[in-house]
Structure 1
Amino acid sequence: MIPTLEWTDEGVRFLDQTKLPLETTYVLATTYDEVATVIRDMIVRGAPAIGVSAAMGMALGIDRSTATTVEALTPEVEQMAAVLAGTRPTAVNLFWGIARLKDLYYKLATETVGRPEADRLRTIKAGVIAEAKQVYTEDIDTCKTMGRVGQDLLPREGTVLTHCNAGALCAAGYGTALGVIRAAVEAGADIHVLADETRPYLQGARLTAWELLQDNIPTTVLCDNMSGALMRQGRIQAVIVGADRIAANGDVANKIGTYTVAVLAKEHGIPFFVAAPWSTIDVNTATGDGIPIEQRSAREVTHSNGKQMTPDGVGIENPAFDVTPSKYVTAIITERGVLRAPYNESIAAMTNTQTAVSA
């Protein structure tokens, strides 16, 4: 498994997903500002991976700070958090990763009061680095648990459609939606994956196809407007996608185009599954109407491989995500178990549950 990102003595090393599938290259971030740029420019992407990246960015910033007292370091920590939080607003995992490291920072700062400042700083820096590494390890374990929890929901034999990339590349490893597919295949299922190309950034064509081929899972890339015709022909048995934020009522924000797929799946009687870690569920946002939608550069639409594809002066819309209402979602797969409608009730009931349950 090629690591999406990893902590090194030199800094945080990221697989450059903008260069895949033709180049396997890496970017080294040595400051928290550089981690923020990596997230903003989609060198790393996918909600779980963004959460891990944010945690590592916080740890990197704290570790590399030249502040000589905790009092001097604290405003820097707040600045780090603000810069990282401003990168990609839809993925709630971003804020979860930041908060986890900030909470630990303040906890350690309180626990070390009265000790020499140099000792306090050493303790804090060692603690946040260990925590960032733990976030990374937990993310892989979470994805593997989701796979085990959700694998039986997929057909033992058939074709599964996915949209965008919700695989090992969207997480620290293994993946969310593709993690469920991987687990099903490992358990003996005969699954062929259809990957929507996912315009305009082509995460399905570039990333999902690339990583599934590494695992020898049969994969076919579709243009985004093909899935409805294939559903009508009976060629798709299930749909599974990831999520960047899930509201308390089960509304799901995911890559633009997901809503269209969900409506088509409902019309054709095809189950539509969402796989996401519990950290993607935002119980403080009541419905999908409250989820902020990131607007990205018009150039992603106007240009392809550096070549302009649209006339000068034309208007451009480029929302990165859309919201799928919960009524179109058959089930939500998490490491704690499978959620079903009514989602406001099942999410509330599982909020305090820490262990995975059977699907």
Structure 2
Amino acid sequence: MNNIQEFLPYILKHENISRIEDKTLLIGDRRSYPFEKKFYKAENVFEAASAIKNMVTQGGGPLEVALNSLVLIAKQNGKCEKAFKEGVTALINSRPTNTTMARELKCVLPTIINSFECDNFVSKVEEIVNNRLDYYDSCYDKMSDIGSHLINDEDGILTTCFPEHSFFLSLYKARLANKRFCVFAPETRPYLQGARLTSSSLSLMGFDHYLITDNMVGTFMREGKINKYMTAADLALKDLTVVNKIGTFQNAVVAATFNIPYYAFAISFDQTKKDFNDIVIEYRDSEEVKNFRGVKTTLDSVNAIYPCFDIIPSKYVSGVITPDKLFLNGEKR
């Protein structure tokens, strides 16, 4: 596809993830979607990092917010190496589990610093960032080519949380190939990304779908209504260990029980981590489990705990879809 943006749902379009207006970074506030289309205003890179930490955006969103934050730093601080390094550190520390943003920032920062000699420095940073955004769009396009071929006519497809660009593009391309399918989206407590983000996007794009609660997965697999499992990956290792939103692991185990393949989309493998022992799982404030959008769901005296990501051992992963190829479990790598 020449431009994938026109085929993506509202919250995955570049301008709705984040954009700069003057010297302010506007970040699409996924906490209020789909009830409101609001934007969080970050006046500097540290407010952008705080927005990422506080779930204004999530999944693939932090990557784009981080890249646009580099333009914001350039506009506000000019050719100041300290400002860029401090900003990048704040962004990296905002979400420790998903390392794609961290690896991208560490890769692009030297390029920006080497551009200090350019006369029109801000324009150069904008060019660097736009090139990186185009690169990721091309990755999503390539991954969805693979993903769409994995979808068969009459499939019932389970996902978890918000499966991001490549999944929705896979569905779009499968529909172009006249394949019929139905997507099952668990609600994804405690933020309900599956209900608010995934299901609303499926509905607006006209895909057959069902919103289900998190504990219905086994029943629909046993009844034969679900025969494929596909998610995004917040992190993937070369041995096909996958990290994704909490709940992904138990769904993968149930899928394996019924011989249902599980595929995860990943931009790249994190080569800095040898195995699951190197993975840092983010724990969030337990109060997030005890309420939703300000409405309490239990007593203040109740104890709660919230690890927000799962580690899915490779034995439960049928394959990892990357821009280069589908890495199948058991193949020689």
Q: Distance in 1 between matches of 2:43 and 2:247?
A: 35
Q: Which secondary structure state, in structure 2, belongs to the residue aligned with residue 221 of structure 1?
A: strand
Asked if 2 retains the 8 angstrom alpha-carbon contact of 1:13 and 1:28, the reply is: yes
Match of 1:64 in 2: 76
Structure 2 unaligned spans of 5+:
1-7
Match of 1:172 in 2: none
Q: 1:147 aligns with which of 144, 147, 152?
A: 144
Match of 2:65 in 1: 53
Q: Distance in 1 between matches of 2:114 and 2:150?
A: 41
Q: Which secondary structure state, in structure 2, belongs to the residue aligned with residue 216 of structure 1?
A: coil
Q: Distance in 1 between matches of 2:282 and 2:172?
A: 30
1:39 aligned onto 2:52: yes
Q: Tell which deviates more after alignment, 251-260 or 333-342.
A: 333-342
Q: Distance in 2 between matches of 1:34 and 1:97?
A: 20
Q: Distance in 2 between matches of 1:311 and 1:161?
A: 33
Q: 1:254 aligns with which of 222, 239, 244?
A: 244
Query: Quick one: which amino acid aligns to residue 38 of structure 1?
Result: A
Q: Tell which deviates more after alignment, 149-158 or 330-339.
A: 149-158
Query: Quick one: which amino acid aligns to residue 78 of structure 1?
Result: K
1:229 aligned onto 2:219: yes
Q: 2:295 aligns with which of 307, 310, 317?
A: 307
Q: 1:209 aligns with which of 199, 205, 208?
A: 199
1:20 aligned onto 2:27: no
Q: Distance in 2 between matches of 1:258 and 1:176?
A: 17
Superposition deviation, residue 34 in structure 1: 2.2
C-alpha distance after superposition, 1:22-47 (max 9, x if no partner): 1122223332122212211221111x
Structure 1 unaligned spans of 5+:
113-119, 168-174, 347-359
Match of 1:327 in 2: 315
% same residue: 26
Asked if 2 retains the 8 angstrom alpha-carbon contact of 1:176 and 1:277, the reply is: no
Report the RMSD for the aligned CA atoms in angstroms: 1.8
Superposition deviation, residue 101 in structure 1: 2.9
1:242 aligned onto 2:254: no
Q: Distance in 2 between matches of 1:36 and 1:318?
A: 21
Asked if 2 retains the 8 angstrom alpha-carbon contact of 1:194 and 1:222, the reply is: yes
1:99 aligned onto 2:106: yes
Superposition deviation, residue 223 in structure 1: 0.6
Size of the aligned set, in residue pairs, is: 320
Q: Which secondary structure state, in structure 2, belongs to the residue aligned with residue 64 of structure 1?
A: helix
Q: Distance in 2 between matches of 1:129 and 1:97?
A: 15
Structure-to-structure mapping, 1:62-211, within 5 angstroms = 62-65=74-77, 70=79, 73-109=80-116, 112=117, 120=118, 122-167=119-164, 175-211=165-201
Q: Distance in 2 between matches of 1:151 and 1:288?
A: 29
> Which 4+ stretches in 1 moved above 6 angstroms?
none
Match of 2:278 in 1: 290
Q: Distance in 2 between matches of 1:180 and 1:159?
A: 14
Q: Distance in 1 between matches of 2:264 and 2:329?
A: 13
C-alpha distance after superposition, 1:116-147 (max 9, x if no partner): xxxx4x44332222111222222222212211
Query: Quick one: which amino acid aligns to residue 108 of structure 2?
Result: L
Superposition deviation, residue 91 in structure 1: 0.8
1:266 aligned onto 2:256: yes
Distance 1:37 1:318, change over 3 A: same
